[in-house]
Amino acid sequence: MVAMPHPTAAKPAATRKDVARLAGVSSAVVSYVVNGGPKKVSPATEAKVRDAIAALGYRPNAAARALKLGSSEMLGMVVPDATNSFFATLAHAVEEAAAERGYALLIANSGGSLSAERRQVENLVSRRVDGVFLCSVLFEPDLRDLEAAEIPAVLLNHSAESPGFDSVGVALQDGARLAVEHLAQHGHRKIGLIMGTNTGGDLDAREVGWRQGIEEAGLQAGPVMRGPFSREGGYRAGKWLLNEADRPTAVFASSDLQAVGLLKACHEAGVRVPEDLAVVSFDGSAEAEYSWPPLTTVAQPVEDMARAAVEALVGGGGHKRNRIFPGTLIRRASCGC
């Protein structure tokens, strides 16, 4: 507690009962006016109740409500790293969409570790969230805890058709293909790849898309460098790539963050972008607009995805389905445009 010079000693927060007493009605009536139902209340009584509520500064107790209703009116979201601006933006958008429907959002970080992810999910389960958005490190996450607790889940940032899962994501493969296509149109013949590594070790669809784009352009695959989805990861990958004997003239990076790291490696090495090396990346985060040069990137429709995810979770809609949104190429300077 809290060093308080409160002259009015700790009055223990008004309950619905206090309001009822003050308004001279039963506690049920208070409930009716607070919740606008399920019964009607005469305008006169309603006014009295509202006055009493205001006078007492009454606020419904969310815990009691949650207990009674079996719903916490909270949603959970687990992301690998809320510090990554893409996930930060996504979480923010989800938060807003959830708030519109009266839900609060509990955000948990897994740090990209499977065990932490499980722990966070368990934590959310025990807090009785009404649903969870899972940006899993795994391609096919283990949802048993959630199923056992009957908590609906939607895989966010999941971009494959996975019957049995509810998911929303972006078309990774198409997006990557788009990026490579664009680079090919700029005349590049040797296009490398800086690819983020997934914990699960599955093949990322962006890699498939990159390869597809290259094949469709009748080119040969450039060098591939793998590393974490981070600035640091991109930087290391960049250093390696620039020292390669057959250095590509263009690179597709699987995230903006990695591209930012790559850019740093280029600047340090005196490699000019886009003249010596063209770059296109993925995500469309704000940071990409302010790097130098500004990054051409395949933007994810974050707002739409967030809305769709919330809709899937609490929209009451029926069946599980996979919603996949298209990415859009944003042309800036790094590709040579």
Partner DNA sequence: TTGAAAGCGCTAACAT
Partner DNA sequence: ATGTTAGCGCTTTCAA
If the CB atoms of residues 104 and 337 are measured against a copy of itself, the closer one turns out to be: 104
Q: Whose CA is closest to 292, among 320, 255, 337, 259?
A: 259
Interaction partner, residue 25 (a copy of itself, DNA, none; CB < 5-8 Å by kind):
DNA
If the CB atoms of residues 63 and 245 are measured against a copy of itself, the closer one turns out to be: 63
For the CB of residue 3, give the shortest distance to DNA in the complex, in Å. 24
**Calpha distance 135→154 (Å, rounded):** 9
Residues that bind a copy of itself (CB under 8 A): 1-4, 10, 13, 57, 59-64, 66-67, 72, 74, 82-83, 85, 88-89, 91-92, 95-96, 104-109, 123, 125-128, 140, 142-144, 147-150, 152, 163-165, 231, 235, 260-261, 263-264, 267, 286-287, 289-294, 318-320
- The 3-class secondary structure across 1-48, one letter per residue, is CCCCCCCCCCCCCCCHHHHHHHHCCCHHHHHHHHHCCCCCCCHHHHHH
For the CB of residue 147, give the shortest distance to DNA in the complex, in Å. 18
Look up tokens 């974490």; give the residue: 228
Interaction partner, residue 315 (DNA, a copy of itself, none; CB < 5-8 Å by kind):
none
Residues that bind DNA (CB under 7 A): 12-13, 15-17, 24-29, 31-32, 34-35, 37-42, 44-46, 59-61, 64-65, 67-70
For the CB of residue 292, give the shortest distance to a copy of itself in the complex, in Å. 5
For the CB of residue 74, give the shortest distance to DNA in the complex, in Å. 15
**Calpha distance 43→74 (Å, rounded):** 32
* Residue 118 one-letter amino acid: R
Contact 135, 124 (CB under 8 A): no
Q: What is the DSSP string of 179-193?
A: HHHHHHHTT-SEEEE
For the CB of residue 316, give the shortest distance to DNA in the complex, in Å. 16
Q: Which residues of 232-243 are buried (b: 16+ CB within 10 A; e: fewer)?
A: ebbbbbbbebbe
If the CB atoms of residues 88 and 221 are measured against a copy of itself, the closer one turns out to be: 88
